[in-house]
Amino acid sequence: MLEQYDLSNLMVLDIETVPQYSSYEELPLNLQELWTKKTEYQRKEETAENFYERAGIWAEFGKIICISVGIFLNGKKTGLRIKSFAGDEEKELLEDFAKMLSGQPGTLILCAHNGKEFDFPYICRRMLINGVQFPPHLQMAGKKPWEIPHLDTMELWKFGDYKNYTSLNLLTAIFDIPTPKDDIDGSQVGHVYWQEGGLARICTYCQKDVVATAQLIRRYRGESLITDDCITIVS
């Protein structure tokens, strides 16, 4: 599977998101009301205040604090080069990411796990909110699905089955890929960011997800994993 793709033409990415405010109490009153209504079905009997720790999932109430990307490198052994865009100022982060993408070939394909349901639309929504111009690779309006240069490793695993969600953690386990969840997981990112100031820790976690997704692509292609000595993280 995926043998038709040139790995050097793929960019693997992952994002980390958190609530826009450190607590529900800091949320403006009008947004508190909108948050209560927006999450009425998901919360069930939980209060809107307690449920706010999950606000990073919604682009209307969250923000991006890290985008990590990985490019495959050709050589005697396949390598992976990773770079992260991280910071407290979301607009600046998104502008840097957009500038980088705009300098890439038009044939570049973006790849993420659950990217079509989460990463790609979340990035686009936050770019629109922050007034950041979309790079060509995120221009989706008016295009047919097969014209959009995006790959989703979760969608590929479904093989047409629309009712199933499969986590990256589960797929790494069954394909014998080192887990990216050896420190924190997605549910803890908001706490680590707002309560511990652990942006660097979150950035490392995001990079591990990129590595895991890249390794999953290798497994999908029936190829060996990229060795640690061939993985480079640039500042």
Per-residue model confidence (pLDDT) at position 212: 96
Does domain 7-20+61-234 match CATH 2.40.50.140? no
pLDDT at 235 over 90: no
pLDDT at 45 over 90: no
Per-residue model confidence (pLDDT) at position 77: 87
Per-residue model confidence (pLDDT) at position 50: 92
Stated pTM of the model: 0.94
Per-residue model confidence (pLDDT) at position 171: 95
pLDDT at 143 over 90: no
Using one digit for the tens of pLDDT, what is the confidence trace for 147-182? 899 999 999 999 988 777 899 999 999 999 987 677
Domain ranges of the chain: 7-20+61-234
Query: Residue 7 half-sphere exposure, CB side, CA atoms within 13 Å?
Result: 24
Report the alpha-carbon distance of residue 4 to residue 127 in Å, rounded: 31
pLDDT at 183 over 90: no
Report the alpha-carbon distance of residue 83 to residue 51 in Å, rounded: 32
Report the alpha-carbon distance of residue 51 to residue 24 in Å, rounded: 9
Which structure tokens are listed for 139? 């221009």
